[in-house]
Structure 1
Amino acid sequence: MKIKTLIIDDEELARTLIKKFLEDQNDIEIIGEAADGFEGLKLIQNLQPDLLFLDIQMPKLTGLEMLELLPKPPVTIFSTAYDQYAIEAFEKNAVDYLLKPYSKDRLLKALDKAKEKWQRNESPKIPEIPLKDAGSRRVVIKNGTKIEMIPYQDIHYIETYGDYVWIHTESGKYLKQRTMKEFENVLGADFLRVHRSYLVNTSCIQKLELYEKSSYLLVLKSGGKLAVSKTGYKLLKDHLGW
Structure 2
Amino acid sequence: MSRRLSALIADDEALARHLIRDYLSRHIDIELVAECDNGLQAAKAIAERTPDLVFLDIRMPKLDGLEVLELTGRRSGVIFTTAYDAHALQAFDLHAVDYLLKPFSQTRFDEALHKARSLLGHAASALDTLLQSAPPLKRVLIRDRDQVQILAVESIDYIEAQDDYIAICAGGKVYLKTQSLADIEARLDPQLFVRVHRSYLINLARLQAIERHGRDGHAACLQGGKRIPISRAGYERIRGVI
Q: TM-score of the superposition, structure 1-length normalised? A: 0.78
Q: Does 1:86 align with 2:87?
A: no
- Provide the identity percentage: 34
The residue aligned with 2:130 is: 129
The amino acid that maps onto 2:91 is I
Q: Give 5+ residue unaligned stretches, structure 2.
A: none
Change (3 A) 1:193 1:52: closer
Q: Which amino acid aligns with 1:212?
A: G
Distance 1:89 1:165, change over 3 A: farther
Verify: 1:208 aligned to 2:231, yes or no: no
> How far 1:32 sits from its partner (Å)?
2.8
1:193–1:70 CA distance, 2 compared to 1 (3 A): closer
The secondary structure found in structure 2 opposite 1:188 is coil
1:7 aligns with 2:9: yes
| Aligned partner of residue 189 in structure 2, secondary structure | helix
Matched residue of 1:56: which SS?
coil
Matched, 1:159 2:157: no
Q: Residue in 2 aligned with 1:43?
A: 45
Task: Give the drift of 1:17.
Answer: 1.4
Q: How does 1:82-231 map to 2 (within 5 A)?
A: 82-88=86-92, 90-91=94-95, 94-117=96-119, 122=121, 124-125=123-124, 126-130=127-131, 133=134, 137-160=138-161, 165-170=166-171, 171-177=173-179, 180=182, 183=185, 186-230=188-232
Q: Secondary structure at the match of 1:189?
A: coil
Q: Offset at 1:172? A: 0.4
Distance in 2 (CA, whole Å) between partners of 1:207 and 1:88 is 45
Counterpart residue number, 2:31:
29
The RMSD of aligned alpha carbons is 3.2
Q: Output the amino acid matched with 1:129.
A: L
Change (3 A) 1:33 1:151: same
TM-score by length of 2: 0.78
Alignment-mate amino acid for residue 78 of structure 2: T
CA deviation profile, 1:65-112 (whole Å, cap 9, x unmatched): 223333666632222433444224541xx4222233322111101112
2:152 & 2:133 partners in 1: Cα distance? 13
Contact 1:9-1:54 at 8 Å conserved across structures: yes
Which is worse superposed, 182-191 or 145-154? 182-191
The one of 17, 38, 59 equivalent to 2:19 is: 17
8 Å CA contact 1:157, 1:169 repeated in 2: yes
Who is 2:62 aligned against? 60
Distance 1:136-1:104 versus aligned 2 partners, 3 A rule: farther
Moved >6 Å (runs of 4+): none
